[in-house]
Amino acid sequence: MGDARTVYIASKVAECFDISKDDATRGMSWYHDQILAFYKPDGPPKLLFYYQIPEVKNIDGDFIPKAGGPPKLIVTDGDVETLRDKALYLVRTNPKGVSDKSPENDIYSGEIRGTVLDTLASLVANLYAPVLKAQKEWGKTTRESAYDCVIGVQRFGDTLTSAAHSLQGGVELIGPDQKYVNSIDLKPQAFSDAAADQETARHFEEILTDWCDKTEALLDASEDAYAMSAKEDAGPDTEVEYWRGRMAKFNSITEQLKGKECRLVLGVSMAGRSQAHKRWKAVDMRVTDASNESKDNVKYLTTLENSMTPLYEGDPRQILDGIPGLMNNVKMMHTIARYYSTSGRMTTLFKKISNQMIVNMREYITAPGILWTQDREEMLGRLELCNKVKVRYFEEYMATKDRLEQNPKGRQFDFDEDQIFAKINLFGKRVSKLLDMFTTIKQFTTLNEKNSIDGLVGPIKAFFKVVEEFKRKPYDLMDFAKNQFDRDYLEFNVSARSCAGRPWCGAFAPRC
């Protein structure tokens, strides 16, 4: 196995797993036939290399790493061996086989780091979705179908990322010592006999106490995590992501409890009527409630995904058209959802919808560049459209609220409207002021072009001097949270109105 192909692969193995080329070559020698088959046109098109402790089968028939064993190089097709760390993959790209003259041209290689879920999520988010989004030609596919494809891939990537994140920070229920697993049957009498032994009972008591501590910490931390997901600029996608993550964590606990080791712990602890078992019963009820809540919330929140898509992938015109449907779907969810219909949850959802509307509209307004350098007519059109979105959003909310009030026995929109609309109202005021200011500038520009009118040169010159001073202000005009603009805007109006007393200028004065 000393040809150029083997040397090339050995260098990749050594680089991936940080081992010497000699160690890589020796490890590969155990898989001589498998690697040779990979070189051939009719051989397997891929190979996977692991560098980890070999697995052995335990008494339950599960494969686990051999205790105290050193890591070894493993060559596999990935169908049997479990990846526990990272892998090097090789894919034969030449249908004629791998040449011994230029193997690097015939083999594509890469690393799989973390879990397979992490790797797939990264590939979809950073490779497939951007490539599809940049695609210009779609053949005979309609524009709508191409758009649906791109959105579907992006959603799939978001779901994978959310699932990968949800697996972090869960609870691993530790099992008893192997000697107990091997010696105690899953039978009531065996549980009673084990519980009668003080040392055994104490061991299981400590394990169950650890379960209680960890699970209670997860339950409490979940509420803290929800509060963090409601940060000021969070969008509605964080709601789905939070509840999916919560559901996965509690599903993990439920699945672990079905295993032999967990059933053994619960059986012995119940037979001994330990204090830890009484505590666990209360914890288990909380887990069941939390799991049911998260599943129910995910079910209903995912029904809003189509309505939410314009907030992330569309422009304000699409948002404007979609607001009635979005409001109707939110109302339906509020009406029938068992857990999510509380005032606090719904207020948070609406607040996050408002946040994302603001993010979308700010990006839309500033996409062509800073406001001062944009085409004025187009920029005013953008501002006007965003103003319509804000107005329509509030009107549809109030109309939905009024319709629900016609049925007093049903659930109402009794939410904290100050929280829901505070930021978007502030954003709307900024948009209105910018509309007024740039409309005034446009009008004075028109007036300046009529240079035949006597007596206007001085006032107009003074006005544009104020405009130039405004341009030099060091803040972002769209940063509506900062009120320095509001003070400067008042000064701008005062300067513009100084011309209002002149008969030619009165029509061009800014609005109050």
Separation CA 10–CA 25 (nearest Å): 6
Separation CA 27–CA 20 (nearest Å): 11
Cβ-based burial of 67 (10 A; exposed 0-12, middle 13-18, buried ≥19): exposed
Q: What is the pLDDT of residue 126?
A: 82
Q: Which residues contact 230 (CB under 8 A, 6 or more apart)?
A: 238, 348, 351, 352
Separation CA 250–CA 233 (nearest Å): 28
Separation CA 354–CA 428 (nearest Å): 11
C-alpha pair distances (Å), 107 with each of 9, 181, 208 = 9, 47, 51
Collapsing DSSP to helix, strand or coil, 110 comes out as: strand
H/E segment holding residue 75:
strand 72-76
Q: How far apart are the first and last CA of the chain?
A: 85
Q: What is the DSSP string of 145-199?
A: HHHHHHHHHHHHHHHHHHHHHHTTT----PPPPHHHHHH--SSHHHHHHHHHSHH
- Spans of the chain, pLDDT less than 70: 1-2, 57-64, 79-80, 114-115, 162-169, 222-231, 450-456, 498-512
- Number of helices (H), then strands (E), belonging to the chain: the values are 20, 6
Collapsing DSSP to helix, strand or coil, 45 comes out as: coil
Q: Which residues pair with 92 in a beta bridge?
A: 107
Q: What is the DSSP string of 474-502?
A: SS-TT-TT-THHHHHHHHHHHHHHTTTTS
Residue 404 corresponds to which tokens in the numbers above?
């629900």
Amino acid letter, 471:
K
Separation CA 73–CA 251 (nearest Å): 34
Length of the chain equals 512
Q: What is the pLDDT of residue 149?
A: 86
Q: Which residues contact 261 (CB under 8 A, 6 or more apart)?
A: 175, 176, 181
Q: What is the pLDDT of residue 166?
A: 60
Candidates 75, 94, 66; CA nearest to 26 is 75
Mark out the alpha helices in 408-512 (DSSP H runs).
417-449, 457-471, 484-497
Residue 500 corresponds to which tokens in the numbers above?
């209002």
262 close to 175: Cβ distance less than 8 angstroms: yes
pTM of this prediction? Answer: 0.72
Q: What is the pLDDT of residue 507?
A: 47
Separation CA 353–CA 340 (nearest Å): 16
C-alpha pair distances (Å), 52 with each of 26, 47, 109, 444 = 15, 16, 19, 75
337: left (phi over 0), alpha (psi -120 to 50) or beta: beta
Max Cα–Cα distance, the chain, nearest Å: 110
